[in-house]
Amino acid sequence: MLKIQPVPSNDHAPEGGRNPVAAFDADLIETVRVNRSAAERRVATLPGRRTVKKQWQAAWLVKAVQCIDLTTLAGDDTPGRVHRLCAKARQPVRQDLLEAMGIGDRGITTGAVCVYHAMVEPAVAALKGTNIPVAAVSTGFPAGLSPLPLRIKEIEASVAAGAREIDIVLNRSHVLTGNYRAVYDEVRAFREACGSAHLKTIIGAGDLGTLTNVARASMACMMAGADFIKTSTGKESVNATLAFALVMVRMIRTWRELTGFKVGFKPAGGISTTKDVMNYQFVMKEELGNDWLEPGLFRIGASSLLTDIERQLDHFVSGGRYSSAHRHPMG
């Protein structure tokens, strides 16, 4: 077992406790290898082997809604836009659809609202009275190349403003040069700056070159105390893919076997259809089990996905008729 150091608890920690900081272990990271062709063969078979229809599909999609980090990361974001997004997070699916499915009283919301630091306070205000957390992208998002002291201060400022989750981004150069000690040290510093806030580490998988680098970066982040590992910022040329997801969730499984602690997973970038999101759900169920279908251990970084899910739920409720997208406004 790895050497574990105590860290603050947090409201979102899965059963069994929050993933703690472990001692750095270069040998463990160096032993990680990924067979790319085998990984790609595995995910290529997934859509054809598993599918769900009708009421079962509707149930999976409602669960997906609860795992969405509803996101706006645009240069022209305003408090008004964020308030509308938060209203959608409070009521992500039309009430008439929920009632038709018999779940109108379940209090269905999204998993979180994700914004830049400047929009944290408006989001917190708009979500007051709910248990929906605000997640702030931080640490020089999306490149992660600003000075380390400034990245740490950005985390502290977002936590002080009310963010309960922090999505940090790695300096990918450390991974590309094989300096996993630097990856560990930075993520550990970010974890300490977060305090009790939930830490999601964006490894920027599409920038890392190989699946082995993706796996090693994931392992270093979990070793440093990450609560979640996340594929992408959404700004890379290649964002979330099923191959990245497979490699990362297998590292999560390995970490659980080594330490007994659960780490969450968040794919982000390019997930815009129900088919896309259900394939990620299938990976989670097959590789990690039902615990990783819940928002405490699974999040989806998305903005346009919710509209397609609502249309699919409307299709189910109406007996086979697709509605126009404008009937399911994103705000």
Percent of the chain with pLDDT over 90: 85
Helix (H, G, I), strand (E, B) or coil at 16: coil
Query: Could you tell me which residue, 181 or 52, shows the higher pLDDT?
Result: 181
Segment 220-234 shows an average pLDDT of 97
* pLDDT tens-digit readout, 105-163: 999 999 999 999 999 999 999 999 999 999 999 999 999 999 999 999 999 999 999 99
Predicted confidence (pLDDT) at residue 64 exceeds the cutoff of 80: yes
* Catalytically active residues, by annotation: 167, 230, 266
Q: What pLDDT, on the 0 to 100 scale, is given for residue 46?
A: 78
Q: What pLDDT, on the 0 to 100 scale, is given for residue 52?
A: 83
Q: What pLDDT, on the 0 to 100 scale, is given for residue 331?
A: 46
Minimum mean pLDDT range among 101-105, 118-122, 212-216, 320-324: 320-324
The β-bridge partners of 135 are 114, 165
Q: What pLDDT, on the 0 to 100 scale, is given for residue 262?
A: 97
Length of the chain: 331
Segment 256-264 shows an average pLDDT of 96
* pLDDT tens-digit readout, 183-204: 999 999 999 999 999 999 999 9
Q: CA 127 to CA 164: how far, in whole Å? A: 12
Model pTM score: 0.93
Q: What pLDDT, on the 0 to 100 scale, is given for residue 304?
A: 87
Q: CA 205 to CA 233: how far, in whole Å? A: 9
Confidence of residue 9 (pLDDT cuts 50, 70, 90): very low
The CATH number of the domain covering residues in 17-319: 3.20.20.70
Angle made by CA atoms 9, 224, 162, in degrees to the nearest 5 = 45
Phi, psi of 26 (to 5 degrees): -65, -35
Q: CA 212 to CA 215: how far, in whole Å? A: 5
Q: What pLDDT, on the 0 to 100 scale, is given for residue 15?
A: 60
Segment 34-44 shows an average pLDDT of 92
Strand pairing of 165-169 and 4-5?
A: unpaired
Domain definitions of the chain by residue range: 17-319
In contact, 21 and 207? CB cutoff 8 Å: no
The amino acid at 231: T
